[in-house]
Amino acid sequence: MKRISVLLLACAFTLSAALIHAPAIQAAPTVIKIAGMKPEGEPETIAMHRFGEILEQLSKGKYKVEVYPNSQLGKENAYIAATRKGVIQMCATGTQTSALQKSMGMLETPMLYDSYEHAHRAMNGKTFELINKGFPEKSGLRMINAFPLGFRHFYTKKPVKSIDDIKGLRMRVPNIPLYTNFAKECGISGQAMPFAEVVSALDQGIIDGGDSPFSDIVTKKMYEKCPQITTTRHILVIHALYINEKFYQSLPAEDRAWFDKAAKDSAEEVWAKAEQVDQDAIKELKAHKAVISEPSKALHDFMYEAGKRSWSLFLDPKSNNYVENAQEILDSAASYR
Ligand code: G3P
């Protein structure tokens, strides 16, 4: 009996020693999929990658982030729907979300921001909150940060020197009311299509040009067909990371704080780089013999007025895109000037 007890004790001792020295078994990481529309190297994709790296670091590997840029998981409306349904957890996009709540369109109100600094203050402040009010409940998505892709400029085949030069021009516009409405105000023939279709529309000669931030003009090589760039700066493109609201609410408080911090820090990095992104793109455009011109004063003033007129899309109670707190949003944005 005594011998059996000693034997059992020895076995227990050996087993516990083995367990102590065995490598710790790590639970498999939870995979977070993020879809986006822009190619590698652009601010949207940089934000997605940096979010992933920061989240993995903060959570010590509890979460693993898989990034799918460049419409790999479908065009923007398809992957927004997948995020709402919880097929994927997150996505990056812009004012396409105005189809879910009109106020989201006001993120890119024409002629609203003077500079990146101005928009940065508004997005870190009350303007962001006012635009977002009620969005998670309504859409099933939560916007967890906001970062700039750049001011939009015209890219065209022929130079745009005067107001007459843009009249009737077949310009690609995103299929979003704020854009189609602004094109109408400018007298442009807006050709609405998703971002992923722009290059083939240029190749087929369906459009005479379009408007995009410098980074898009470079990565999509729009300058090859449209080497005339007119720096109109009429809209600041603001994109964001969105997360499925149910998934977000299901996270333990500590994990949610990691997601929030990763979102905040990744966006801040993009804001900090915005001017440099433009400068690098300008260098690249010049290297490819693109012609970059400032708009004439008459064209600038004309577009500024058109931009201001286009605000009635949100302000007019009779508009299909009426936003109840539109004036409050505009006043708030102006207060950060
Ligand atoms: O935020 C909306 C913006 O992404 C639409 O422009 O040119 O990227 O389709 P684009």
Q: Are strands 236-244 and 141-143 parallel, antiparallel or unpaired?
A: antiparallel
Compute, in angstroms, the gap from residue 212 CA to the centroid of ligand 1: 8
24 found inside a domain? no
Orientation angle between helical segments 253-287 and 43-58, nearest 10 degrees: 150
The predicted structure's pLDDT at residue 80: 98
pTM to 2 decimals? 0.92
Average confidence score pLDDT of the chain: 94
Q: Supply the pLDDT for residue 259.
A: 99
- Our measurement of the distance from residue 186's CA atom to the centroid of its chain's CA atoms, rounded to an integer in Å, reads 25
The secondary structure of 8-35, three-state, reads HHHHHHHHHHHHHHCCCCCCCCEEEEEE
- In this structure, is residue 187 part of a structural domain? yes
Residue 17 lies inside a defined structural domain of this protein: no
Number of domains in the chain: 1
CA distances to 136, 157, 172, 278, 330 from 283, rounded to whole Å, are 40, 20, 24, 9, 34
Ligand 1 near 94 CB (within 6 A): yes
pLDDT tens figures, 152-173: 999 999 999 899 999 999 999 9
Residue 86 lies inside a defined structural domain of this protein: yes
CATH number at 330 reads: 3.40.190.170
- Ligand 1, atom 9: nearest CA belongs to which residue? 195
Question: Beta partners for 151?
Answer: 236
Q: Report the nearest atom of ligand 1 relative to the CA of 107.
A: 1
> 19 lies in a domain?
no
Cα dihedral sign for 283, 285, 289, 294? negative
| The pLDDT of residue 16 | 52
- Residue 86: its pLDDT value, please? 98
12 assigned to some structural domain:
no
The residues of the chain scoring below 50 in pLDDT are 1, 6-11, 13, 15, 17, 19
Residue 42 CB less than 6 A away from ligand 1: no
Q: Which two tokens stand for residue 51?
A: 């979010």
In a domain, 226, yes or no: yes
| Residue type at 86 in one-letter notation | G
What pLDDT score was predicted for residue 27? 87
Name every residue whose Cβ is closer than 8 Å to that of residue 35 and which is 6 or more positions away in sequence. Answer: 68, 69, 72, 73, 74, 79, 82, 83, 88, 90, 91, 92
Q: Would you say residue 164 lies in a domain?
A: yes
Angle between helices 177-186 and 297-310 (to 10 degrees): 130
Expressed as residue numbers, the domain containing 243 is: 30-335
